[in-house]
Amino acid sequence: MSFATRPRRSSPNSAGNSGVTYYFYFWYWFTFQLVVANALWTRITKLQKRRLGFPISVFFVSCFVTSHALHVWADANLYQPIIQQDNMFPLSYPATAKTLMARYGLLDIEDYQQRKALQFNHSVSGITYPVAPVYCPVKQDKKVLVLTVTSGNIPQQIPGLVKGQHHYGFQSDDASGINSILYGLPELYHQALQAYQPILLNLPQSMGLNVSLYLPETQQTQLRGYAQDWSQFTQGVQNATSNLAVGFIQANQLPALLTDKTLAEYQIIVTNLASSDNLRQLLFTNIPLNKALSSHEDIAPTALALLGCNAQPRTYSTGTSLTASSGMNYVVGTQGSKVVLLNNNQRIEIMNNGSVRTFDLNSSQEVFTPINTNLLGQGIKNLTHFSAKRSVKNQ
C-alpha cells in the first residue's frame, strides 16, 4: 500500500506578481512624464518669459546626485527596496558601491562580496509543498506520541524517557514553533503553508491510521479536521487506540499522558517551546537518537519514520529523522528576518542584508572567528528548497 501527495503549485500570476508590479510602475511613470512634457510644451511661450532655467536645472541636478547617492548607500548596505528599483529603469546605470566607494577605499570589497553572496530574501511569494509526490507504506501496528509543552515548566527528568542533549528551536513565538513541528519547515514558509495540510497528519490518516491532534483554539482550518478536545485526545492515548497522537499541552497535563501503559505502547517524543537565548529546547524520548544536533523541523520526519514511512524527508521537510544519521553537521532555520545556523558550538546569524554575527552557543556571547561562507551558502540553499520559484526553475 502506498500514498502519493502531489505538490500544489502557486499560480503563475502569484509567481510573476513582482514583474507585473514593476511593469505597471514603469508605464505609470512614463505616462506621467509624457503628460508633464505635453503641458510644458503647450505653455512654452509663457514659460520662456520667466527665468526658470536655473532653478529647474538645480532641481534636476540635485535629484540626479541624490538618486545616485541613495543608490550607492543602498548598494553598500544591500538595501533591496532601493536596489530592486533598477528593474523599473532598465536603461539607467546608477552608481554602485563597488565602483565608487571601493575605488576610494571606503568599502571593503571582500566583505561586500561575502554579504552579497549570503543575502537572503525572506519574502516568499509561494511554496511547493511537498516538492515531489510522497510515496511510502506505513505500519498499522506502530504507535507514535509527540507532545510539545507550550506553557509551564517541563521537568528536567522524565521517568522512562532519555534526555536529548542538543535540541534547538528557532521559533519567534509559540505559533511558529507549532508550525515548525507539524510541517517540518522553518518560519520562512509558515504564512504560505496556511492553505496546506501537514504531511505528518495527512499521510498516515489517508492510509487508515488513527490520527489525533490536540491543539486548543487553533485558527488554521486545515488542522481542524484532526483536532480533538482534551478528553478525546487523552482517551485515545491512554487506551492506545491512536496510531499517531500529536499534542500541544501545558506542563501539568504531562502526567495524564505519560502513564506506564503509554510508555510501554508508544514511541514517544516530548519537547517544549520555551524562550531561550541560546535557542536550546528540552527533548525527551524512548527512541535511539543518532543526530548530534537536532531542531523542531526534525520531529515530523522522525514521527513518519517511526510509523514506517521511508520516503525522503527532503520532499516535505528541511529536517531529517532523529533516528538516522543525516551526514549534516549543522542545523539551520529562520527567526524573524534572520537566518540562524548552529554548528561547532556556535550560533551564526545572517541578517537580511547579508551581514553575519557569530555567538557562542552556550554563553550567547559574541565571538569573532573566520566565517565559513561555503557552509552558510549550503544552509541557505537548504532553506530555499521549497520556494515556489526555485522548485519550478529546477524542474
- CATH code (residue 369): 3.40.720.10
Say how far apart CA 369 and CA 293 lie, in whole Å.
21
Mark whether 156 and 271 lie in a shared domain.
yes
β-sheet with 167-168: strand ranges across: 280-281, 167-168, 294-295
- Which residue has 528536567 as its cell numbers? 156
Select the more confidently predicted residue: 341 or 83: 341
- Kindly state whether residue 129 falls inside one of the protein's structural domains: no
The residue among 309, 244, 355 whose CA lies nearest residue 2 is 309
- The answer to whether 344 and 104 are in contact (CB under 8 A) is no
Mark whether 76 and 34 lie in a shared domain.
yes
Say how far apart CA 213 and CA 215 lie, in whole Å.
6
Instruction: Give the pLDDT score at 109.
Output: 61
Mark whether 30 and 179 lie in a shared domain.
no
Question: Domain range for residue 20?
Answer: 12-118
Mark whether 228 and 106 lie in a shared domain.
no
pLDDT in tens, 144-190: 999 999 999 898 899 999 999 899 999 999 999 999 999 999 998 99
CA angle 216-220-223, nearest 5°? 75
- Kindly state whether residue 251 falls inside one of the protein's structural domains: yes
- Kindly state whether residue 51 falls inside one of the protein's structural domains: yes
Contacts of 319 (CB under 8 A, 6+ apart): 184, 294, 295, 296, 297, 298, 299, 300, 301, 302, 313
Instruction: Give the pLDDT score at 214.
Output: 97
Q: Highest mean pLDDT range out of 42-51, 53-62, 85-94, 276-285? A: 276-285
Cis, bond preceding 130 (omega within 30 deg of 0): yes
Mark whether 199 and 277 lie in a shared domain.
yes
Given a cut of 80, is residue 350 above it in pLDDT? yes
Q: Of all helices (H) and strands (E), which one includes residue 144? A: strand 144-151
Mark whether 232 and 269 lie in a shared domain.
yes
Mark whether 107 and 150 lie in a shared domain.
no
The DSSP string of 222-265 is: TTTTTB--HHHHHHHHHTT--SEEEEEEEGGGHHHHS-HHHHHH
Given a cut of 60, is residue 80 above it in pLDDT? no
- Kindly state whether residue 272 falls inside one of the protein's structural domains: yes
Helix (H, G, I), strand (E, B) or coil at 291: coil
Mark whether 323 and 228 lie in a shared domain.
yes
Of all residues in the chain, what percent carry a pLDDT higher than 70?
76
- Kindly state whether residue 2 falls inside one of the protein's structural domains: no
Say how far apart CA 379 and CA 104 lie, in whole Å.
34
Mark whether 206 and 274 lie in a shared domain.
yes
Go through the chain and tell me how many residues it has.
395
CA angle 361-367-371, nearest 5°? 95
Say how far apart CA 332 and CA 122 lie, in whole Å.
14
Specify the amino acid at residue 130: P
Instruction: Give the pLDDT score at 273.
Output: 94
Mark whether 42 and 157 lie in a shared domain.
no
- pLDDT tier, 196 (very low <50, low <70, confident <90, very high otherwise): very high
Mark whether 69 and 161 lie in a shared domain.
no
Given a cut of 70, is residue 304 above it in pLDDT? yes
- Kindly state whether residue 7 falls inside one of the protein's structural domains: no
- Kindly state whether residue 132 falls inside one of the protein's structural domains: no
Instruction: Give the pLDDT score at 117.
Output: 52
Say how far apart CA 162 and CA 287 lie, in whole Å.
8
Specify the amino acid at residue 297: E
pLDDT in tens, 264-280: 999 999 999 988 778 99
φ and ψ at residue 150, rounded to 5 degrees: -95, -20
At which of 101, 118, 135 does a domain end? Answer: 118
C-alpha cell at 13: 500570476
Instruction: Give the pLDDT score at 324.
Output: 85
CA angle 248-199-174, nearest 5°? 30
In the chain, the number of structural domains is 2
Q: Highest mean pLDDT range out of 140-144, 214-218, 329-333, 346-350? A: 140-144
Instruction: Give the pLDDT score at 138.
Output: 94
Select the more confidently predicted residue: 347 or 62: 347
Say how far apart CA 209 and CA 203 lie, in whole Å.
9
Mark whether 207 and 73 lie in a shared domain.
no
Select the more confidently predicted residue: 179 or 390: 179
C-alpha cell at 29: 511613470
pLDDT in tens, 106-127: 666 665 555 555 555 556 667 8
